[in-house]
Amino acid sequence: MKTAMLNKYFNTPHESGLGKTLYQFNGLLVLTFFILTFLVWGGTGYSAGIMLLLSPLALFVKDRPLQITKEHYLIILAFSLMFVAHASAIYRGNSAAEITDLDQPMRFILIIPIFLYLKKVGFNQTWFWLGIYLAGLICGWQSIAYTAGEYGTRVSGPFNPIIWGDIGLVFCLVIGVKIHHLIKNKPQTLIPKYIELSTAAISLIAASIGVILSGSRGAWLTVILLALLFLTIAFVTLPKRISLAFTSVMIICSVLAYAYIPTVNVRINQVINELSSFELTSSNRSSTGLRLQMWYTSIIAFQESPIIGLGKSGLTELEKRLVNEDKINNWVVTESSQQHSDLFDMLAKSGALGVLILIFFYYSTMKAGSALIPPYSSTIVMTTLAYIGFGLTNTIFIGMNGTMFFLVFTVFTIVAGEREVTSK
């Protein structure tokens, strides 16, 4: 039993010493990625950075073929187009732009050699799921430890609480997918099914605590949108009685959360108050008010340049002009590095072309996921749907942690979810 367990964690499809070494080391880097996600700022980038440095070594691994499918070419094209869209938005019309401004867009390009490296060398899937379970537990633990901040009820951890809640929700969804897979299918691991189910359930609860304590209304809105999607599917595919039961449970849970969880109550009341007192030209610097004014500005930018947008510099000039015309307040200009929505940010800076690139990016990830084995296929789809939801009210692909987590996690899932290719 002990030998079989060691083989499960340390088996390798490689025959060469270099291939075996890199394969095992990659597993540890995957595990490290998940452990560091909620522990340190930028924890989502360390493992990827090391893999980038190791990627040239894949050229010397001869005993495992590099298999690239049309789905892989599609997602590589999507990565490249996202780089072009973000980089052109920074440089277009901005004579003061420097090479360091490419830091954020370059992540879409640098993930490509990491992807190809992992496709060639691979890693043990066991570390992938162990890391996810640990990340869920760390999310809950850190959330409780760091609950402080503006209202005394939100996470004040290593990075922005909005992204904290968003990433925490991804872990909730992924672990939920895994639990469903474990219940439905006979386990193919040496770990007893009830032990893995118990571990997954505890990790799911811990990650859920992180989502709640984050106070991230974008994550909560995504939960609602996903719930409505699932309910729609349920009413089509399941008996009406079961669908109504699901609906009742969701309504009851929502009411109880609002009534008894201070973070939920405070954050929902805040958005209600901000909406009721909102005026377009108000000097009140409210979270909801700023978002609405940014989105209004994005629509004006789209009207002025519908095909390619205004770029970052042109958007800033538009915001200043609208402030001078008393159409928006000056807080929008001071926060204008992003539009608090991936959709509106692309619309303003890159126009309809940018929005099409964003849609193609989402499509390519789900297309790549559709070719994977369960539960990895559902993992990719759920993660992408969650990021679409986050992107409605926040610019996930402008910041460090949100961007790196999606890119690295997507690549890890694609590699882990493909059927093992051996030298034979």
pLDDT tens-digit profile of 329-338? 887 776 557 8
Cβ-count burial 371-392 (b if 16+ within 10 Å, e if not): bbeebbbbbbbbbbbbbbbbbe
- Residue scoring higher pLDDT (199 or 266): 199
Where residue 423 falls among pLDDT bands split at 50, 70, 90? very low
In a domain, 283, yes or no: no
pLDDT, tens digit (0-9, with 9 covering 90-100), for 66-115: 889 999 999 999 999 999 999 999 888 777 778 888 888 999 999 999 99
Number of domains in the chain: 1
In a domain, 141, yes or no: yes
In a domain, 45, yes or no: yes
Residue 258: is its pLDDT beyond 50?
yes
Where residue 359 falls among pLDDT bands split at 50, 70, 90? very high
Structure tokens at 270: 């805040």
In a domain, 36, yes or no: yes
pLDDT, average across residues 15-22:
91
Q: Which residues are CB-contacts of 269 (< 8 A; sequence separation ≥ 6)?
A: none
- Residue scoring higher pLDDT (29 or 316): 29
In a domain, 311, yes or no: no
Most confident of the following: 20-29, 240-249, 288-297: 20-29
What CA–CA distance (Å, rounded) separates 180 from 381? 15
SS3 state of residue 147: strand
In a domain, 423, yes or no: no
Predicted pLDDT at 222: 94
Residue 404: is its pLDDT beyond 80?
yes
CA 381 to chain centroid, in Å, comes to 11
Average pLDDT, the chain: 87
Identify the domain containing residue 144 by its residue range: 17-277+332-416
Total residue length of the chain: 424
Predicted pLDDT at 12: 80
Q: Which DSSP helix (H) or strand (E) runs through 154?
A: strand 154-155
In a domain, 372, yes or no: yes
Pick the range with the lowest mean pLDDT from 118-132, 136-150, 265-279: 265-279
In a domain, 325, yes or no: no
In one letter, which amino acid is 291? R
Predicted pLDDT at 261: 81
Where residue 421 falls among pLDDT bands split at 50, 70, 90? very low
Residue 424: is its pLDDT beyond 50?
no
